[in-house]
Amino acid sequence: MPTPTDTADREISTTRDLAAPRDLVWKVWTDPHHIARWWGPRGFTTTTSKMDLTPGGVWRFVMHGPDGTDYQNVINYVDVRAPELLVYRHGGEGETRGIQFDVTIRLEAIDATHTRLHMRVVFPTAEARQFVIDKHGALEGQKQHVARLEEYAARQLAEAADAVFTISRTFEAPRELVYAAWTQAERLAKWWGPTGFTVHHSTLDLRPGGTFHYGMSSPTGQAMWGKFVYRDVAPPERLSFVNSFSDEQGNVCPDPFGLGLPLEMYSEVTFLERDGKTTLTLVGYPFSATDAQRKAYSDLRPSMKGGWTGTFEQLTHYLESAK
Protein backbone atom coordinates (compact mmCIF):
# COMPACT_ATOMS: atom_id res chain seq x y z
CA MET A 1 0.00 0.00 0.00
CA PRO A 2 1.20 3.60 -0.58
CA THR A 3 2.97 5.31 2.29
CA PRO A 4 1.69 8.57 3.82
CA THR A 5 4.77 10.48 2.64
CA ASP A 6 4.34 10.00 -1.10
CA THR A 7 0.60 10.45 -1.66
CA ALA A 8 -0.21 14.06 -0.74
CA ASP A 9 -1.34 14.96 -4.26
CA ARG A 10 -3.30 11.72 -4.67
CA GLU A 11 -5.32 11.44 -1.48
CA ILE A 12 -8.48 12.67 0.19
CA SER A 13 -8.40 12.37 3.97
CA THR A 14 -10.86 13.01 6.77
CA THR A 15 -10.58 12.92 10.55
CA ARG A 16 -13.76 13.15 12.63
CA ASP A 17 -14.50 12.64 16.32
CA LEU A 18 -17.70 10.63 16.75
CA ALA A 19 -19.82 10.48 19.90
CA ALA A 20 -20.08 6.70 19.72
CA PRO A 21 -18.02 3.81 21.14
CA ARG A 22 -15.51 2.23 18.79
CA ASP A 23 -17.20 -1.18 18.76
CA LEU A 24 -20.42 0.42 17.50
CA VAL A 25 -18.64 2.42 14.78
CA TRP A 26 -16.91 -0.76 13.61
CA LYS A 27 -20.19 -2.66 13.61
CA VAL A 28 -22.10 -0.15 11.50
CA TRP A 29 -19.17 0.05 9.04
CA THR A 30 -18.90 -3.71 8.54
CA ASP A 31 -22.43 -5.13 8.85
CA PRO A 32 -24.49 -5.10 5.60
CA HIS A 33 -27.70 -4.58 7.57
CA HIS A 34 -26.35 -1.32 9.01
CA ILE A 35 -24.46 -0.23 5.90
CA ALA A 36 -27.71 -0.29 3.92
CA ARG A 37 -29.03 2.49 6.14
CA TRP A 38 -26.22 5.03 5.88
CA TRP A 39 -23.54 4.22 3.26
CA GLY A 40 -22.69 6.81 0.61
CA PRO A 41 -23.55 10.46 -0.02
CA ARG A 42 -26.99 11.77 0.86
CA GLY A 43 -29.81 10.41 -1.26
CA PHE A 44 -28.01 7.14 -2.05
CA THR A 45 -29.09 3.69 -0.91
CA THR A 46 -27.05 0.49 -0.97
CA THR A 47 -27.83 -3.14 -1.76
CA THR A 48 -25.26 -5.79 -0.85
CA SER A 49 -25.05 -9.04 -2.81
CA LYS A 50 -21.96 -10.44 -1.06
CA MET A 51 -19.70 -9.48 1.83
CA ASP A 52 -16.76 -11.52 3.08
CA LEU A 53 -15.07 -9.39 5.73
CA THR A 54 -11.71 -11.16 5.75
CA PRO A 55 -8.32 -10.36 4.19
CA GLY A 56 -8.71 -11.36 0.55
CA GLY A 57 -12.51 -11.30 0.87
CA VAL A 58 -14.84 -9.35 -1.41
CA TRP A 59 -17.79 -7.04 -0.86
CA ARG A 60 -20.04 -6.56 -3.90
CA PHE A 61 -22.79 -3.97 -3.72
CA VAL A 62 -24.88 -1.57 -5.77
CA MET A 63 -25.26 2.09 -4.87
CA HIS A 64 -28.59 3.47 -6.05
CA GLY A 65 -28.33 7.17 -6.85
CA PRO A 66 -31.07 9.70 -6.12
CA ASP A 67 -31.63 10.05 -9.89
CA GLY A 68 -32.25 6.30 -10.25
CA THR A 69 -28.79 5.42 -11.60
CA ASP A 70 -27.23 2.22 -10.25
CA TYR A 71 -23.50 2.10 -9.58
CA GLN A 72 -21.87 -1.33 -9.37
CA ASN A 73 -19.09 -1.49 -6.76
CA VAL A 74 -16.62 -4.10 -5.57
CA ILE A 75 -14.32 -3.91 -2.56
CA ASN A 76 -11.38 -6.24 -1.98
CA TYR A 77 -10.32 -6.37 1.66
CA VAL A 78 -6.57 -6.22 2.32
CA ASP A 79 -6.35 -5.95 6.13
CA VAL A 80 -9.11 -6.45 8.69
CA ARG A 81 -8.36 -5.94 12.39
CA ALA A 82 -11.54 -5.45 14.40
CA PRO A 83 -12.32 -2.95 15.78
CA GLU A 84 -9.44 -0.67 14.80
CA LEU A 85 -8.28 -1.09 11.20
CA LEU A 86 -9.84 -1.72 7.81
CA VAL A 87 -7.83 -1.54 4.58
CA TYR A 88 -9.38 -2.23 1.19
CA ARG A 89 -9.24 -1.50 -2.52
CA HIS A 90 -12.43 0.01 -3.90
CA GLY A 91 -13.21 -0.48 -7.58
CA GLY A 92 -16.13 -0.02 -9.91
CA GLU A 93 -17.90 -2.08 -12.52
CA GLY A 94 -19.97 -1.01 -15.51
CA GLU A 95 -20.03 2.81 -15.71
CA THR A 96 -17.64 3.12 -12.80
CA ARG A 97 -15.07 0.67 -14.15
CA GLY A 98 -11.61 2.15 -13.95
CA ILE A 99 -12.34 4.26 -10.85
CA GLN A 100 -10.16 2.60 -8.24
CA PHE A 101 -8.67 3.78 -4.98
CA ASP A 102 -7.18 2.40 -1.79
CA VAL A 103 -8.87 3.13 1.54
CA THR A 104 -7.53 2.94 5.07
CA ILE A 105 -9.97 3.29 7.97
CA ARG A 106 -8.50 3.67 11.46
CA LEU A 107 -10.75 3.83 14.50
CA GLU A 108 -9.11 5.26 17.61
CA ALA A 109 -10.91 4.91 20.93
CA ILE A 110 -10.80 8.34 22.57
CA ASP A 111 -12.66 6.97 25.60
CA ALA A 112 -15.48 4.51 26.25
CA THR A 113 -18.05 6.63 24.39
CA HIS A 114 -16.08 8.51 21.70
CA THR A 115 -14.16 7.39 18.62
CA ARG A 116 -11.76 9.25 16.36
CA LEU A 117 -12.23 8.21 12.74
CA HIS A 118 -9.29 8.55 10.35
CA MET A 119 -10.28 7.91 6.72
CA ARG A 120 -7.60 8.05 4.02
CA VAL A 121 -8.39 7.50 0.35
CA VAL A 122 -5.47 7.22 -2.08
CA PHE A 123 -5.87 7.31 -5.87
CA PRO A 124 -3.38 5.86 -8.38
CA THR A 125 -2.58 9.31 -9.80
CA ALA A 126 -3.20 12.97 -9.02
CA GLU A 127 -5.24 13.12 -12.24
CA ALA A 128 -7.50 10.29 -11.04
CA ARG A 129 -8.08 12.14 -7.79
CA GLN A 130 -8.98 15.33 -9.62
CA PHE A 131 -11.28 13.43 -11.97
CA VAL A 132 -13.48 12.07 -9.17
CA ILE A 133 -13.53 15.50 -7.52
CA ASP A 134 -14.61 17.26 -10.71
CA LYS A 135 -16.96 14.62 -12.14
CA HIS A 136 -18.35 12.91 -9.03
CA GLY A 137 -17.99 15.56 -6.30
CA ALA A 138 -15.72 13.32 -4.22
CA LEU A 139 -14.81 15.94 -1.62
CA GLU A 140 -18.42 16.73 -0.79
CA GLY A 141 -19.34 13.05 -1.18
CA GLN A 142 -16.84 11.97 1.46
CA LYS A 143 -18.05 14.73 3.78
CA GLN A 144 -21.65 13.55 3.42
CA HIS A 145 -20.61 9.91 3.80
CA VAL A 146 -19.00 10.57 7.18
CA ALA A 147 -21.88 12.82 8.28
CA ARG A 148 -24.37 10.03 7.56
CA LEU A 149 -22.22 7.60 9.57
CA GLU A 150 -22.22 10.05 12.48
CA GLU A 151 -25.99 10.49 12.34
CA TYR A 152 -26.63 6.77 12.04
CA ALA A 153 -24.38 5.90 14.99
CA ALA A 154 -26.24 8.48 17.09
CA ARG A 155 -29.54 6.93 15.95
CA GLN A 156 -28.37 3.48 17.05
CA LEU A 157 -27.52 4.77 20.52
CA ALA A 158 -30.86 6.57 20.72
CA GLU A 159 -32.80 3.47 19.69
CA ALA A 160 -31.02 1.42 22.36
CA ALA A 161 -32.06 4.02 24.94
CA ASP A 162 -35.66 4.26 23.63
CA ALA A 163 -34.91 7.90 22.84
CA VAL A 164 -36.24 8.34 19.30
CA PHE A 165 -39.16 10.74 18.86
CA THR A 166 -41.47 10.54 15.83
CA ILE A 167 -44.52 12.60 14.94
CA SER A 168 -46.51 13.01 11.70
CA ARG A 169 -49.16 15.44 10.53
CA THR A 170 -51.03 15.84 7.24
CA PHE A 171 -51.63 19.41 6.09
CA GLU A 172 -54.20 20.60 3.55
CA ALA A 173 -51.51 22.33 1.51
CA PRO A 174 -49.13 21.51 -1.36
CA ARG A 175 -45.64 20.30 -0.49
CA GLU A 176 -43.87 23.34 -1.95
CA LEU A 177 -45.76 25.64 0.41
CA VAL A 178 -45.16 23.46 3.48
CA TYR A 179 -41.47 23.20 2.64
CA ALA A 180 -41.27 26.97 2.15
CA ALA A 181 -42.87 27.49 5.56
CA TRP A 182 -39.97 25.51 7.07
CA THR A 183 -37.17 27.15 5.09
CA GLN A 184 -37.94 30.87 4.75
CA ALA A 185 -37.28 33.12 7.74
CA GLU A 186 -40.26 35.41 7.15
CA ARG A 187 -42.59 32.39 7.04
CA LEU A 188 -41.03 30.61 10.04
CA ALA A 189 -41.54 33.77 12.11
CA LYS A 190 -45.31 33.45 11.66
CA TRP A 191 -45.71 29.97 13.18
CA TRP A 192 -42.51 28.56 14.70
CA GLY A 193 -42.35 27.71 18.40
CA PRO A 194 -44.60 26.47 21.22
CA THR A 195 -48.20 27.62 21.43
CA GLY A 196 -48.42 31.31 22.28
CA PHE A 197 -44.74 32.10 21.60
CA THR A 198 -43.79 34.75 19.06
CA VAL A 199 -40.55 34.98 17.08
CA HIS A 200 -38.91 38.39 17.57
CA HIS A 201 -35.58 37.67 15.84
CA SER A 202 -34.43 35.30 13.12
CA THR A 203 -31.58 34.87 10.66
CA LEU A 204 -31.51 31.97 8.21
CA ASP A 205 -28.77 30.60 5.97
CA LEU A 206 -30.35 27.59 4.24
CA ARG A 207 -27.47 25.33 3.19
CA PRO A 208 -25.59 22.38 4.70
CA GLY A 209 -23.56 23.95 7.49
CA GLY A 210 -25.76 27.06 7.53
CA THR A 211 -27.85 28.09 10.52
CA PHE A 212 -31.27 29.28 11.55
CA HIS A 213 -30.85 31.41 14.69
CA TYR A 214 -34.00 32.65 16.36
CA GLY A 215 -35.28 34.38 19.46
CA MET A 216 -38.77 33.79 20.85
CA SER A 217 -40.89 35.45 23.52
CA SER A 218 -43.36 33.59 25.72
CA PRO A 219 -46.85 34.95 26.45
CA THR A 220 -45.43 36.34 29.71
CA GLY A 221 -42.49 38.02 27.96
CA GLN A 222 -39.77 35.48 28.77
CA ALA A 223 -37.09 35.33 26.04
CA MET A 224 -35.72 32.03 24.71
CA TRP A 225 -33.12 31.47 21.98
CA GLY A 226 -32.30 28.53 19.76
CA LYS A 227 -30.61 27.54 16.54
CA PHE A 228 -30.48 24.90 13.82
CA VAL A 229 -27.32 23.83 12.03
CA TYR A 230 -28.47 22.37 8.72
CA ARG A 231 -27.03 19.05 7.57
CA ASP A 232 -29.20 18.09 4.60
CA VAL A 233 -31.27 20.42 2.43
CA ALA A 234 -33.15 18.57 -0.32
CA PRO A 235 -36.14 20.66 -1.48
CA PRO A 236 -38.96 19.94 -1.36
CA GLU A 237 -38.55 16.42 0.02
CA ARG A 238 -36.28 16.48 3.04
CA LEU A 239 -34.63 18.69 5.61
CA SER A 240 -32.35 17.72 8.48
CA PHE A 241 -30.57 19.75 11.13
CA VAL A 242 -29.00 19.64 14.56
CA ASN A 243 -30.96 21.90 16.89
CA SER A 244 -29.87 23.39 20.18
CA PHE A 245 -30.83 25.95 22.75
CA SER A 246 -28.61 29.00 22.39
CA ASP A 247 -27.93 32.49 23.64
CA GLU A 248 -28.47 35.76 21.81
CA GLN A 249 -25.09 35.41 20.11
CA GLY A 250 -25.84 31.90 18.83
CA ASN A 251 -23.63 30.00 21.28
CA VAL A 252 -24.99 26.57 22.26
CA CYS A 253 -26.40 26.54 25.80
CA PRO A 254 -27.93 23.96 28.17
CA ASP A 255 -31.71 23.77 28.14
CA PRO A 256 -33.17 26.68 30.15
CA PHE A 257 -35.54 24.39 32.06
CA GLY A 258 -32.82 22.41 33.86
CA LEU A 259 -34.02 19.11 32.40
CA GLY A 260 -30.56 17.81 31.48
CA LEU A 261 -31.37 17.52 27.78
CA PRO A 262 -28.63 16.96 25.19
CA LEU A 263 -26.85 20.08 24.00
CA GLU A 264 -27.48 18.89 20.44
CA MET A 265 -30.53 17.09 19.08
CA TYR A 266 -30.89 15.77 15.54
CA SER A 267 -34.09 16.26 13.54
CA GLU A 268 -35.06 15.00 10.10
CA VAL A 269 -38.22 16.31 8.47
CA THR A 270 -39.67 14.65 5.35
CA PHE A 271 -42.46 15.99 3.16
CA LEU A 272 -44.69 13.63 1.14
CA GLU A 273 -47.40 15.03 -1.13
CA ARG A 274 -50.51 13.16 -2.23
CA ASP A 275 -53.67 14.58 -3.77
CA GLY A 276 -52.63 18.13 -2.93
CA LYS A 277 -52.04 17.32 0.74
CA THR A 278 -48.67 17.07 2.46
CA THR A 279 -47.77 14.56 5.14
CA LEU A 280 -44.91 15.84 7.27
CA THR A 281 -42.96 13.37 9.41
CA LEU A 282 -40.42 14.54 11.96
CA VAL A 283 -37.93 12.13 13.53
CA GLY A 284 -35.70 13.40 16.32
CA TYR A 285 -33.13 11.93 18.66
CA PRO A 286 -30.18 12.95 20.85
CA PHE A 287 -26.99 13.82 19.02
CA SER A 288 -23.56 13.78 20.67
CA ALA A 289 -25.19 12.93 24.00
CA THR A 290 -24.41 11.15 27.26
CA ASP A 291 -26.47 8.24 28.57
CA ALA A 292 -28.08 10.59 31.12
CA GLN A 293 -29.00 13.07 28.40
CA ARG A 294 -30.52 10.34 26.24
CA LYS A 295 -32.63 9.25 29.22
CA ALA A 296 -33.77 12.83 29.84
CA TYR A 297 -34.76 13.09 26.18
CA SER A 298 -36.64 9.78 26.34
CA ASP A 299 -38.49 10.82 29.50
CA LEU A 300 -39.58 14.06 27.86
CA ARG A 301 -41.16 12.51 24.77
CA PRO A 302 -44.80 12.73 26.01
CA SER A 303 -44.33 16.44 26.61
CA MET A 304 -42.61 16.80 23.25
CA LYS A 305 -45.64 15.29 21.55
CA GLY A 306 -47.89 17.86 23.16
CA GLY A 307 -45.51 20.68 22.28
CA TRP A 308 -45.20 19.65 18.64
CA THR A 309 -48.97 19.21 18.37
CA GLY A 310 -49.39 22.84 19.39
CA THR A 311 -46.68 23.95 16.98
CA PHE A 312 -48.34 22.07 14.13
CA GLU A 313 -51.63 23.77 14.96
CA GLN A 314 -49.88 27.11 14.48
CA LEU A 315 -48.42 25.87 11.20
CA THR A 316 -51.90 24.75 10.07
CA HIS A 317 -53.31 28.23 10.70
CA TYR A 318 -50.39 29.83 8.87
CA LEU A 319 -50.78 27.57 5.84
CA GLU A 320 -54.51 28.36 5.65
CA SER A 321 -53.72 32.07 5.58
CA ALA A 322 -50.87 31.66 3.07
CA LYS A 323 -52.85 29.86 0.35
Provide the pLDDT confidence category of residue 6 given band limits of 50, 70 and 90.
confident
Domains of the chain in start order, with CATH, are 4-160 (3.30.530.20), 165-322 (3.30.530.20)
* Residues 216-265: tens digit of each pLDDT: 999 998 999 999 999 999 999 999 999 999 999 999 999 999 999 999 99
What confidence score (pLDDT) does residue 98 get?
Answer: 60
* Residues 155-190: tens digit of each pLDDT: 999 999 999 999 999 999 999 999 999 999 999 999
* Residues 269-292: tens digit of each pLDDT: 999 999 999 999 999 999 999 999
End-to-end, the C-alpha distance of the chain in Å comes to: 61
Q: Are strands 45-51 and 277-287 parallel, antiparallel or unpaired?
A: unpaired
Cβ–Cβ under 8 Å, residues 27 and 86: no
pTM of the model: 0.92
